[in-house]
Structure 1
Amino acid sequence: MSAEPHNLDSWRDLPAAQQPDWPDRAELDKVVAELAGLPPLVFAGECDQLKSELAAVARGEAFVLQGGDCAETFAGATADAVRNKLKTLLQMAIVLTYAGRVPIVKIGRMAGQFAKPRSKPTEVRDGVELPAYRGDMVNGFEFTPEARTPDPWRLLRAYHSAAVTLNLCRAFTKGGYADLRQVHAWNQDFVAGSPAGQRYERLAREIDQALAFMRACGADPEEFHTVEFYSSHEALILDYDRALTRIDSRTGQPYDVSAHMVWIGERTRQLDGAHVEFFSRIRNPIGVKLGPSSTPEDALALIEKLNPANEPGRLTFITRMGASKIRDALPILVEKVTASGAQVAWVCDPMHGNTFEAPSGHKTRRLDDVLDEVAGFFEVHHALGTHPGGIHIEFTGDDVTECVGGGHPVVEDDLALRYETACDPRLNRGQSLDLAFRVAELYRSS
């Protein structure tokens, strides 16, 4: 494939943050060449379909539910693990669909989220310094020189793990597992068994009555049995995403076919950096994380670089402010971007700005802080007359103990019981459903 018509390698001349220090460039080149010859994981037409759904979000006609692991692991690409995450996402989606009366765009942080940026390039334990763990795509979690040395062949394993995950997701979402009535029955079980169940019982009962009415009318649309599900990841390791960029035979345009949607993180959104340059060349729907230090000038410059044609659905801003800062930091961004006429979707990441270290040394988050940031996100948009377009969360379908709070409350002393994340703390299944019902309440009160 020739890169010349679209300048797909122009990023190589720019500073690229958060890239591994590969020990053998020749080995990396071999892996990249092999990746470049492999089939696409997704198709350009699917990316365009997601773009059209995100355009509806930007217009205020739909809502994004984006979530999954902080950092996927190769060991986690199993049927049980994928099914549990997908089940939780579907349960959240049905609650939000009914409460919001709008379509829910379901996007997984799945099938590619194998790399993570780090605040420090190395980690020190007992006087021993080794490279930081950057995700299974780059190196191993075990604290040994062998495991922590970046290995480019892991890029190839990431591709195959992503393929397995996507195949499972497609089978589950198209094969009857996502049937609306079945998903609602799971939520009824959750409400019945949750200490906070009474709070959610009314909404669950309303959904039950709506489904019963549809059944009595003989309505049984295909949408009751299957769902559209999209994949996404932070396109951090540029050699991987560049190797999986293809020219669409329909349009002649380049798409990163490693995922339907890719995003740029807070640490790599430099306007003159390699990530922003690479993203400006591909035609996928893309996201950019914006933290509390983001200025309106930053946002407007990113819009000009990444979506100069103001294409609806092309660009999503994913804000990650922190509960204590969102009400102060977000309004000026939304106000200035809206005044510019730019068509963007606004999505709230209430996880990354609310991390702290417990006395035990575990990184954790309080569910109350997560909920408060989402509430602040809704408040800001309602005050400005703009659309709170979605949530972006880190969760698992398992009963881990990584974040504190929830209907079945996890306290700080519980963190060590099932602290299983490879990187940042995730909401467990119960906490995720708590969040969905609370977001539904926010939607209904708007």
Structure 2
Amino acid sequence: MNDLNAPRAAVPSWRARPAYQQPSYPDAAALEAVGADLRSRPPLVFAGEVDALRAQMAAASQGRAFVLMGGDCAESFEDSSATSIRLKVQTILQMAAVLTYAASTPVVKIGRMAGQYAKPRSADTETRDGVTLPSYRGDSVNDHAFTPEARVPDPARMLEAYLRAGTTLNLIRAFTMGGYADLREVHSWNRGFMANPAYKRFESFAVEIDRAMRFMEAAGVDFDALRQVDFYASHEALLLEYEDAMIRQDSRSGRLYDTSAHLLWVGERTRGAGDAHVALLEGVHNPVGVKIGPTTSRDELLALIDHLNPNGDPGRLSLITRMGAQRIRQALPALVEAVQADGRPVTWITDPMHGNTITSDNGYKTRRFDTIMAEVRGFFEVHRELGTVPGGIHVELTGDDVTECLGGGEQIDEAALARRYETLVDPRLNHQQSLEMAFEVAELLRG
């Protein structure tokens, strides 16, 4: 295992660049002390793991693998129990089993987990009943409770985020390396999904998978070799002080790695090619992603490639599109064509969640399952028409039976939203909706 506790070299000077969506900490000395503490702590991920993911992302850019990224909109400290983590991992494994069979290629499993504790916000403040307070920016910044004390940004929460991420990664490794991810076990979970009459239209697909499993067993396939899976962690690299403090240098290669996660991405609000977030990720060897919205120009996109993957290294850069179902077929083709003409490889991934958020008549921030799937279909259609590779999906989901997104096979309606609306920021697909998406994407992968 590579040594990531070696003395750290300097990264490009992000501090000299414009930095957006950063908390206003009232105590600069406390912030500096937290950064020094984090720099002294062990890495959360290791160079060999990160390099392995880069290779798999390269395969996905060429159509030799498919990326599945999923997890919470914003992880909370309170909801980091073993049960919650297990259910999210289980959901992603179930989705991956379906997609692997459909695509006949490996599925790269990446959780929006073990670090997604900060969120950008559309406004710096929030007003309720005439009271205005700082916006909630995720548990690594402040508390969700609407009180003046709770909403003050506290740098000590980054230390708690580090500890929570470490325990989450430890549990994920235990689940995925200790037999819990056994393909036979995952297949038995999917049988339970298929028993629901709401998903009867997927029955023939499930029968095919069942037949394939029986054939493998009869042919003497070594299922013990399938008891372990690689499972990676990702989050938005939003808090610059935290990410900077987690950078380590590999003593063997001299490369810098952001050891807070295997893959980091820059959000739509912070992706300026000359801005601080891009500057920070320029200097690390992790695979990185950039969220791309419908207003992104060809020149902006090529500038991002210049900064984040100037040499065109396969697996380095993913472009995560979040266009909205109504705009993807118009906005995406020109960008894909620009990247095609440029020639440097990227992995194209769709985020069908963030461009499709609405407010229900009864006041809930929500998304419609049919609209989410319409964007996924548009993403596949554009790439098929242009002869490029749809490399993966990026989804906000939970393993719980929440009621946050409308529709799906079980037809969650607006009245049902109040039943289990638990997200702290954005609505997530529940367990059943996530599996339904996997079967629908599987049909797209089969052409």
User: Which TM bucket (shorter chain)?
Assistant: over 0.9
1:96 aligns with 2:124: no
Q: Distance in 2 between matches of 1:194 and 1:77?
A: 32
Match of 1:73 in 2: 76
Structure 2 residue aligned with 1:395: 397
Match of 2:312 among 310, 313, 330: 310
Tell me the TM-score normalized by structure 1.
0.98
Q: CA shift at 1:9, angstroms?
A: 5.5
- How far apart are residue 222 of structure 1 and its match? 4.6
- SS of equivalent to 1:45: helix
Q: Which amino acid aligns with 1:171?
A: A
Q: 1:213 to 1:65 in 2, by over 3 A?
A: same
Provide the residue aligned with 2:123 in structure 1: 120
Indicate the residue corresponding to 2:328 in structure 1: 326
Within the candidate set 105, 109, 124, 2:108 is matched to 105
Distance in 2 separating the partners of 1:222 and 1:111: 28
Question: Is residue 419 of structure 2 the alignment partner of residue 420 of structure 1?
Answer: no
AA partner of residue 441 (structure 2): V
1:401-412 to 2 correspondences below 5 Å:
401-412=403-414
> What is the CA–CA distance in structure 2 between the aligned matches of 1:325 and 1:270, rounded to whole Å?
22
* RMSD, aligned CA: 1.0
- Checking the alignment, whether the CA contact within 8 Å between 1:346 and 1:390 is kept in structure 2 is yes
Please give the secondary structure, in 2, of the residue aligned with 1:147. Answer: coil
Residue in structure 1 matching 2:186, options 183, 206, 209: 183
Query: 1:145 aligns to what SS in structure 2?
Result: coil
1:254 aligns with 2:256: yes
Letter in 1 for 2:261: A
Compute the displacement of 1:360 (Å): 1.4
The equivalent of 2:295 in structure 1 is 293
Moved over 4 A (4+): none
**Structure 2 residue aligned with 1:137, among 123, 135, 140?**
140
Amino acid at match of 1:205: V
CA distance in 2, matches of 1:45, 1:225: 21
Aligned to 1:30: 33
Q: Which of these residues, 7, 10, 14, is aligned with residue 11 of structure 1?
A: 14
Find the aligned partners of 2:351 and 2:225 in 1 and give their Cα distance: 28
Q: In structure 2, how many angstroms separate the alpha carbons of the residues matched to 1:156 and 1:223?
A: 37
Aligned sequence identity (%): 58
SS in 2 for 1:356: strand
TM-score, reference length from structure 2: 0.98
Q: What are the superposed Cα offsets for residues 111-163 of structure 1, whole Å, 9 maximum, x if unpaired?
A: 00000000000000011000000000000000001110000000000000000
| Contact preservation (8 Å) 1:67, 1:395 | yes
Equivalent position SS for 1:201:
helix
The CA distance in 1 between the partners of 2:233 and 2:127, in whole Å, is 34
Offset from partner CA, 1:381-435 (integer Å, 9 cap, x none): 0000111000000000000000000111110111111000011000000000110
Q: Is the 8 A contact 1:194 1:408 kept in 2?
A: no
Offset at 1:220? 1.2
Query: 1:52-93 CA deviation, whole Å, 9 max, x = no partner?
Result: 000001111110000100000011111100000000000000
Instruction: Report the alpha carbon displacement of residue 2 of structure 1 after superposing the two structures with TM.
Output: 5.8
Which residue type is aligned with residue 39 of structure 2? A
Counterpart-to-counterpart distance in 2, 1:243 and 1:48? 20
